[in-house]
Amino acid sequence: MPAPIRTIALLLMLLVLLPSSTPASGKVVGALLSSDLPRYREAHRQMVKVLAAHGFSAASEIIVQTPNPDPQSWGNALRKLSAYGADLIVAYGASAVAAALKDGDGLPVVAADAVLDEGDPADNLCGITARVPMVTLLRTLQGIRPQHRVAVLYNSREVGSVRQLAELRQTARQMDIALLEGNAGTPAAVETATNALLGKADSLIITDSSVVCRQFERIVARCRSARVAVATTLPDGAARGALISLEVNPAEQGQVGGQLVMRLLQGARPEQLGITQPRKIELVLNLKVAHELELSVPFQVLGMVTRVLK
């Protein structure tokens, strides 16, 4: 075979064998983050890795919106995703999920790292929930030291935070614990609410609120000065100074979300996929913080804990 013909044949063979950079579906995935928190960025990074393994280009076929954590910004971000021609939406956080179901033009929605309610499932929704039992936080605090009054920081404009508050209200009543509530929708309100609650509470719970969690280190430092224990559902919360944290794994959230996206693009319907429960939920205790607060942790509590930080 002449050299030019052999060269052309080799090039054609390489084109056939090399993986295509364009997914077979030709679809565009829109991603909406409730806010720019590390947990959502990590979940999204893992989702992108799953899609990249199937030929998606993060630069051109995955469009990301990270608006301010407020309803108007979420709505504007969804309109941008629609203008970009998104075929489905991956929503990180309960607020993003609620906004996508309301203003997403009926597009399929994949929820990830979102506190989902049993009443959430809709015809165009599937995903993995980040819901954890708030009773575990209260029981663990109670097991370490009797709790009479527990403060909670939440944001009435963020769906996941409100759902956790509702669960805490019910559980606190059953346990005969007074729940002191601080509604914080702005950074200034977070500081005001924290200062108002600290002198009255045995412990403070930080809920799944982007506005509140952005101030996490400042809240923890303020609580430590007041010798008040902090409990939270924020991933790595105990590692960042809380006494206890009840955590889902953001990487798992993103990986499952990516798998669900691929199944949708292969023809599955959201209602067929439903809501997946997380396999990885950790109850983490920071023993160093316990010692600083002069708290003795009983063996019963240590037996409940998944991981101890020393």
Average pLDDT over residues 289-295: 96
The average pLDDT across 283-294 equals 97
pLDDT of amino acid 68:
92
Model confidence pLDDT, tens digit, residues 6-37: 544 443 443 333 333 344 447 899 999 999 99
Contact 41, 253 (CB under 8 A): no
User: What is the mean pLDDT of the segment spanning 247-260?
Assistant: 97
pLDDT at res. 75: 95
- End-to-end Cα spacing for the chain: 71
Domain boundaries, the chain: 19-130+250-276, 134-248+281-309
The closest alpha carbon to 249, from 110, 46, 51, belongs to: 46
What is the β-pairing status of strands 244-248 and 281-286? antiparallel
Question: Which candidate, 127, 51, 42, 46, places its Cα nearest to that of 91?
Answer: 127
pTM for the full model?
0.88
Q: Is 151 in a helix, a strand, or coil? A: strand
Rounded distance, CA 237 to CA 239, Å? 5
CATH of 19-130+250-276 given 3.40.50.2300, 3.40.50.2000, 3.30.1360.150, 3.40.50.720: 3.40.50.2300
3: confidence class by pLDDT, cuts 50, 70, 90 = low
Distances (CA, A) of 254 to 92, 96, 114, 148, 245: 9, 15, 11, 38, 20
CA distances from 126 to 81, 152, 280, 292 (A): 19, 30, 19, 43
For residues 32 and 109, the answer to whether their CB atoms sit within 8 Å is: no
What pLDDT digit, counting tens, does each position of 121-152 carry?
678 999 999 999 999 999 999 999 999 999 99
Fold entry, domain 134-248+281-309:
Rossmann fold (3.40.50)
- Answer for the pair 69, 102: CB distance below 8 angstroms, yes or no: no
- Predicted local distance difference test score (pLDDT) of residue 63: 93
Distance CA 134, CA 115 (A): 11
Reference 63, options 78, 76, 73; nearest CA is 78
Three-state secondary structure along 85-137? Answer: CCCEEEEECHHHHHHHHHHCCCCCEEEEEECCCCCCCCCCEEEEECCCCHHHH
Please tell me if the domain spanning 19-130+250-276 has the same topology as the one spanning 134-248+281-309. yes
Give the pLDDT confidence score for residue 56 in this predicted structure: 83
Quote the pLDDT of residue 120.
Answer: 60
Instruction: Give the pLDDT mean for 147-165.
Output: 96
In the prediction, which pLDDT does 24 show? Answer: 41
CB contact at 8 A, 96 and 114: yes
Structure tokens at 109: 């929605």
How much of the chain exceeds pLDDT 70, in percent? 90
User: Which one-letter amino acid corresponds to residue 274?
Assistant: G
* pLDDT category of residue 58 using cuts at 50, 70 and 90: confident
| 16, 17, 18 from 6: Cα distances, Å | 16, 17, 18
- List, in sequence order, the alpha helices (H) in the chain: 3-17, 38-52, 71-83, 94-103, 134-144, 159-174, 187-198, 210-213, 216-225, 250-265, 270-273, 287-292, 299-304
Are residues 299 and 306 in contact, defined by beta-carbon separation less than 8 angstroms? no
Q: How far apart are CA 137 and CA 61, in angstroms?
A: 40
Task: Encode pLDDT of 59-118 as tens digits.
Answer: 678 999 999 999 999 999 999 999 999 999 999 999 999 999 999 999 999 999 999 976
Q: What percent of the chain has pLDDT over 90?
A: 85
Residue 62 half-sphere exposure, CB side, CA atoms within 13 Å? Answer: 25
The confidence score (pLDDT) of residue 201 equals: 95
